[in-house]
Structure 1
């Protein structure tokens, strides 16, 4: 039965409509009909019919200037998706502990295709801080969590991590996603899911000095280890890195 299901084709019109939805990103939250037509490869008449269906479903809305943005149903579905993962009660206390210990912002990213989506975020209380809202999608090619989600995607599922990968943990990025942004991230694994996501500390690059980074590295690694254990994963069990315990806050 599973093999038959995999060979069953989808509905072409639905595929096209979903492709249009995928064009909206954090960098392109608003698109004109012409831009949608150009980026999708659909003629304007086809793109318009698909947009009308998406509007009727509440998945896109037309702005006064005739451009389009994602609609309120995307928020409802995203919130439902976030809640269905049952990660929030596990992840948020760990992120809050990281923020309390370091003064920088903590995030948890999950891979979706070639993007990373911020599922959970706890902001620093400092005036100058790096901010990524929950639900925002960012490319995998830049930033510490993107590298983690790319490089460890098949670890713990089809193969173990290499010595070179383990030596890099946690991964640090300076000025990749933006010249003034820095981040430190480590992978989180589940017992049956493999790579679940990446836990991250991020902030202004000016505060991420070599000394501060060295202080943060074991904290991020311990957060990843704790989340992995909470999800019944065993990835960190054999690692000999000494790390401090995190004191949780509510």
Structure 2
């Protein structure tokens, strides 16, 4: 074998090992932060001997931390990850994921934050469809109508109390105007981890939203998919819950966040 062939084979083997390591690290998530060797083997499809060897090496190098008979992403990874987002605005970090979700669903995706008694669109990836809901950066919307408002209220009790002190304005026939109904809807949102609404703020429009959290498990904002109900009937919204939650979790991970209740 020539030196060139030997070098090419070595590079190929290195890339293969890196791919296997990436596969192991990708098996961990905020919803499954601790995994056993069996869990990792099932998630990656790799042989037990390969998983055991790589996990042992990853643990010795600080990529993974051992927790009795299971493993979690090593704290050393947090140290390495910090420079990746240093100097970048949170929205700059989240923007690629926002666009990816838009491309997956074909509909407009937005990121909302709470401002006073309103929600404001702070980031947007617009649909390429000609027929679309009107939305722009900086647009202020009521908190009691729509899926994003539901999410923002579900993880902010003080904001919820403030909104309930004022009358709930009727915007469409589907808008919630009863304090009791809004409280019930917000509790359901918190229990489910997402919200779906149809026609609450605008007739013939649908939306679904999920929360994104920071490192202190505080709510950063609401990730939203929105569009005309003609293209987004309830069954379509329900089918998009999984990619919505996956993207919200990915965004939370990107900014070093964690979900409430997680250590």
TM-score, normalisation: structure 1:
0.55
* Aligned residue runs from structure 1 range 214-225, under 5 A: 214-225=238-249
| Structure 2 residue 131 is matched with structure 1 residue 128 | yes
Please name the residue that 1:95 is paired with.
98
Give the length in aligned residue pairs.
149
- Give the deviation of 1:164 after TM superposition: 4.8
**Larger-gyration structure (1/2):** 2
Superposed structure 1 runs of 4+ greater than 3 Å apart: 162-167
Q: Unpaired runs of 5+ in structure 2?
A: 1-86, 159-185
- Give the deviation of 1:154 after TM superposition: 4.8
> Are the aligned partners of 1:171 and 1:185 in contact in 2 as well (CA < 8 Å)?
yes
Structure 1 pair 185/85, CA: closer, same or farther in 2 (3 Å)?
Answer: farther
- Give the deviation of 1:167 after TM superposition: 3.8
SS at match of 1:207: coil
Alignment root-mean-square deviation, CA: 2.4
| Structure 2 residue 190 is matched with structure 1 residue 190 | no
Please name the residue that 2:231 is paired with.
207
Q: Unpaired runs of 5+ in structure 1?
A: 1-83, 156-161, 239-250
> Are the aligned partners of 1:91 and 1:108 in contact in 2 as well (CA < 8 Å)?
no
SS at match of 2:201: coil
Please name the residue that 2:110 is paired with.
107
> Are the aligned partners of 1:183 and 1:200 in contact in 2 as well (CA < 8 Å)?
yes
Match of 1:147 among 147, 150, 165: 150
> Are the aligned partners of 2:151 and 2:190 in contact in 1 as well (CA < 8 Å)?
no
TM-score, normalisation: structure 2:
0.52
